[in-house]
Chains A and B, each alone.
Chain A
Amino acid sequence: AQSVTQLDSQVPVFEEAPVELRCNYSSSVSVYLFWYVQYPNQGLQLLLKYLSGSTLVESINGFEAEFNKSQTSFHLRKPSVHISDTAEYFCAVSHNQGGKLIFGQGTELSVKP
């Protein structure tokens, strides 16, 4: 069975500091990996995804994540965060495209001035 663990429930950080949100998964088959962001009172939005190819994937707003198969991880990083990055971040896996997503518990990123 697949599962996703987000190791930190809350991550407070100061503006312009780097941040890493950790995600580990377990699966006996190949997976597709995703990071979603949920701003207050809004729906989930896809931030970035790994389907195949390069293990480093990037989003348009400066986030990146690296698929590490040996460590079964897909950590999300940003070198310099903004106040507007404050949100809940969810890591998810799927074992086929269009199939169900299995989500982690979420990490609340709080960026302080």
Chain B
Amino acid sequence: EAGVVQSPRYKIIEKKQPVAFWCNPISGHNTLYWYRQNLGQGPELLIRYENEEAVDDSQLPKDRFSAERLKGVDSTLKIQPAELGDSAVYLCASSCRDCVSNNEQFFGPGTRLTVL
């Protein structure tokens, strides 16, 4: 079974440029999460989806960040415009409520963003 897929793995941009990250969760997983992990810190939730509905986006900086999961499968996280402080690793995770894994969150390898 394929795990959570994220692309790109690395991205370097200049400040004020836009950037987008893509995530494909494990097949059949209805819940999708985006976390941000700053250097030397633990991940922090940005947004959580149940199917195509964003059920927790309280930590998403909505002035510059947006996310979508239009068909309830893959998801895109966008930053526009990027700031220096957005440099971090962006992690995607997925989970399944009615599976043997019982809501365990499976993480992708992350996208490391560097804003210059």
Q: Which residues of A contact B (CB under 8 A)?
A: 4, 9, 36, 41-46, 49, 90, 92, 97-106
The winner among A41, A42, A43, A92 for most chain B CB atoms within 10 A is A43
Name the A residues within 8 Å of B33 (CB-CB).
Answer: 100
A-B pairs, top 10 by smallest CB distance, nearest first, are A103-B42, A98-B103, A43-B107, A97-B103, A100-B45, A44-B107, A43-B109, A90-B42, A103-B43, A43-B108
- Interface contact B42-A4, CB-CB below 8 Å: yes
Name the B residues within 8 Å of A42 (CB-CB).
Answer: 109
- Interface contact B97-A98, CB-CB below 8 Å: yes
- Chain A residue nearest to B112 (CB atoms) is A41
- Interface contact A105-B4, CB-CB below 8 Å: no
Contact of A105 among B42, B48, B97, B107 (CB under 8 A): B42
- Chain A residue nearest to B4 (CB atoms) is A43
B14 proximal to A (CB < 8 A): no
- Interface contact A100-B48, CB-CB below 8 Å: yes
- Chain A residue nearest to B42 (CB atoms) is A103
